[in-house]
């Protein structure tokens, strides 16, 4: 792996106690890494430290093997796309895009060519003469991305760039950004608190919690094998029930599962809704007795809420066809196809 960005034992603490401690992360050339976590977890602190907008208390940041800590933002081989578009309203799209190139003393003929190419790339060809106010929010964000791409950064930094857009447009922008990233082989560090966004756009996800890294892994691994209870709670929907280790197995009610991590005592059992099996008649396997509370059809699948006496409300994701014969108030048997388990906090 060719490391493009290396964060080494980065610490930055504010007087409030917020910030990050001892963060280490290597990002490969052409990789898209997402820093994911709730507000105040430290993800933006890491991003702004990379860009030079914050001075770390300790640690180092290397881009292409060279420390950038002593360089101001404009001298770093980085470019940042902010949550707000930060376009100058009195300038045309062309002038907004040309500004950074003029500072770098790029010839006009070269500027024009680069701007035409980048507008084509972000699917806004011929919009150079328009003003920001004449563009939609999505188009303005495309111009903000284009402006950063023009600077040909070694690392492109994105701070929740799509959070101001509506859901449909956000989805489209994610797809377009991923296409651009793959086409140009860009190295990107993307900050979001939106887990769906992180799962859909990333090569790897860095889940952060109170200034520390909880887990670094691919989206599939983060979803399938959350390393801690915190990650399990944060990524995707999950059912949580009490369990106990007895006779070498994890048991919850009449259900029993292998204890692969050799846990002991009381545990928290986590079950993805898609791993909940709902049956109208009790089979050979022991199940949990439940009564259907609610059925919500959500497109190609349905979310079924079952009131299980011993464990509270359990949510199941079932194929739409499977719920045709189900109705609220119906008695059912609930089983779990697979579980995750964590020491009880």
In sequence order, what are the beta bridge partners of 26?
6
221 and 81 within one domain: yes
Q: What is the pLDDT of residue 302?
A: 94
181 and 164 within one domain: yes
339 and 285 within one domain: yes
78 and 176 within one domain: yes
Residue that is last in its domain, among 232, 262, 280: 232
Tell me if 287 sits within 8 A of 334, measured CB to CB: yes
What does the pLDDT look like over 286-327, one tens digit per residue? 789 999 999 999 888 999 999 998 899 999 999 988 888 899
pTM over 0.75: yes
Q: What is the pLDDT of residue 34?
A: 96
Average confidence (pLDDT) per 10 residues, the chain, 345 residues: 94 90 96 92 94 94 95 91 80 88 83 88 86 86 87 91 80 85 91 90 95 96 94 93 91 91 92 94 72 92 92 93 89 93 88
Q: What is the pLDDT of residue 179?
A: 85
CATH code of the domain in which 339 resides: 2.40.50.100
Tell me if 30 sits within 8 A of 22, measured CB to CB: no
272 and 216 within one domain: no
CATH code of the domain in which 189 resides: 3.40.50.300
Q: What is the pLDDT of residue 283?
A: 52
Among positive and negative, which fits the CA dihedral 48, 138, 202, 273?
positive
Domains identified in the chain, total number = 2
What does the pLDDT look like over 34-88, one tens digit per residue? 999 988 899 999 999 999 999 999 999 999 999 999 999 988 999 988 876 678 8
What are the Cα distances from residue 253, in Å, to 140, 200, 245, 269?
A: 54, 35, 12, 11
Closest residue by Cα to residue 236 from 226, 245, 223: 223
Residue that is last in its domain, among 173, 208, 232: 232
What are the Cα distances from residue 255, in Å, to 72, 264, 268?
A: 59, 17, 14
Chain mean position to CA 200 = 8
Host domain of residue 296 = 238-343
Chain mean position to CA 303 = 23
Closest residue by Cα to residue 283 from 338, 332, 324, 339: 332
Chain mean position to CA 282 = 39
Task: Tell me how far apart the alpha carbons of residues 64 and 344 are, in angstroms, rounded to a whole number.
Answer: 43
The end-to-end CA distance of the chain, in Å, is: 37
Tell me if 215 sits within 8 A of 222, measured CB to CB: yes
Q: What is the pLDDT of residue 282?
A: 55
302 and 270 within one domain: yes
Q: Are strands 78-81 and 155-159 parallel, antiparallel or unpaired?
A: parallel
């Amino acid at each position: 792996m060719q490391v493009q960005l290396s964060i080494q034992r980065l610490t930055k603490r504010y007087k409030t106690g917020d910030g990050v401690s001892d963060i280490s992360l290597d990002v490969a050339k052409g990789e898209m890494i997402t820093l994911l976590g709730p507000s105040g977890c430290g993800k933006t602190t890491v991003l702004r430290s990379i860009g030079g907008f914050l001075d770390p208390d300790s640690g180092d940041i290397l881009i292409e093997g060279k420390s950038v800590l002593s360089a101001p933002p404009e001298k770093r081989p980085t470019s940042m796309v902010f949550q707000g578009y930060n376009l100058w309203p009195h300038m045309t799209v062309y002038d907004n895009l040309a500004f950074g190139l003029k500072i770098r003393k790029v010839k006009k003929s070269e500027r024009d060519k680069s701007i035409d190419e980048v507008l084509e790339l972000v699917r806004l060809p011929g919009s150079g003469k328009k003003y920001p106010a004449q563009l939609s929010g999505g188009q303005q964000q495309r111009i903000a991305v284009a402006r950063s791409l023009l600077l040909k950064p070694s690392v492109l930094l994105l701070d929740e760039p799509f959070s101001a857009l509506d859901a449909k447009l956000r989805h489209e922008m994610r797809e377009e950004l991923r296409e651009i990233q793959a086409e140009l082989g860009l190295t990107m560090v993307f900050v979001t608190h939106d887990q769906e966004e992180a799962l859909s756009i990333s090569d790897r996800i860095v889940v952060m919690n109170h200034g520390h890294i909880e887990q670094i892994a691919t989206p599939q691994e983060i979803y399938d094998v959350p390393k801690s209870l915190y990650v399990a709670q944060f990524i995707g929907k999950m059912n949580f029930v009490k369990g106990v280790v007895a006779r070498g197995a994890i048991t919850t009610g009449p259900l029993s599962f292998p204890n692969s991590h050799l846990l002991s005592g009381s545990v928290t059992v986590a079950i993805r809704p898609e791993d909940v099996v709902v049956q109208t008649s009790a089979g050979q396997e022991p199940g949990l007795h439940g009564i259907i509370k609610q059925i919500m059809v959500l497109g190609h699948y349905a979310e079924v809420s079952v009131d299980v006496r011993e464990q509270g409300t359990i949510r199941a994701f079932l194929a739409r066809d499977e719920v045709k014969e189900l109705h609220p108030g119906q008695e059912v048997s609930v089983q779990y196809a697979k579980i995750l388990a964590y020491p009880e906090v």
